[in-house]
Amino acid sequence: MKPSQLHAHEYGSYYTNYINQVSDEYTLIEELEISLHRFIKFVQDIPMDKFDYRYAEGKWTIKDIIQHIIDSERIFAYRALRFARNDKTELPSFDENDYADEANANKRSIMELLTELSAVRHSTIYLYKTFTEEQLLRIGIASDNPMSVRALGFIMIGHQNHHQRIFEERYLK
């Protein structure tokens, strides 16, 4: 399964940007694995003095953003689990700024954050490997938007890719 196989009714229009940032070269499981390694290598090449840098007042640091990616993936994976198990409960949105304010990412080392990201991603991969084709197509409601289980997987990858581009454009110039 590749992002080009998704249908517009499988996710809210807000997530189109994330879906579009995922390569059609690999399957969902392959890209979950490859994008993790690509991202970790990318972050490991960032100069140490940039991890606590903010490009403008009130903006997140690179550490804040990595924690945001971790938190978001946990939430997206939880949604995927609920929908795959045919849970029809509508799930609420979350306020990413509230999460960032409480995460204390800047008190952690970059190695701790990358280790946690790796653990979360590996958990996501194992979860997605358990889903049947039927479960991947199931759709639930989250943040007032339809979401298929498979779209959530691609959104996790695209969300990470989006933030890597932000690092390149706003933090590392």
Q: Which CATH superfamily groups domain 20-45+59-171?
A: dinb family like domain (1.20.120.450)
Walk along the chain (173 residues) and give the pLDDT tens digit of each residue.
Answer: 999 999 999 999 999 999 999 999 999 999 999 999 999 999 999 999 999 999 999 999 999 999 999 999 999 999 999 999 999 999 999 999 999 999 999 999 999 999 999 999 999 999 999 999 999 999 999 999 999 999 999 999 999 999 999 999 999 98
Amino acid in the structure at residue 105 = A
- pLDDT number for residue 173: 83
Task: Give the predicted TM-score (pTM) of the model.
Answer: 0.97
- pLDDT number for residue 108: 97
**What is the spatial distance between Cα 100 and Cα 89, in angstroms, rounded to a whole number?**
26
**What is the spatial distance between Cα 101 and Cα 132, in angstroms, rounded to a whole number?**
37
Domain ranges of the chain: 20-45+59-171
- pLDDT number for residue 50: 96
Nearest to 6 by CA among 18, 163, 30: 18
| Token code pair at residue 172 | 């590392």
- pLDDT number for residue 137: 98
Burial class (CB in 10 A: 0-12, 13-18, 19+), 167: middle
Spatial contact of 24 and 34, defined as CB atoms under 8 Å apart: no
The sign of the dihedral angle between the CA atoms of 94, 96, 97, 101 is positive
DSSP-assigned beta bridge partners for residue 141? 146
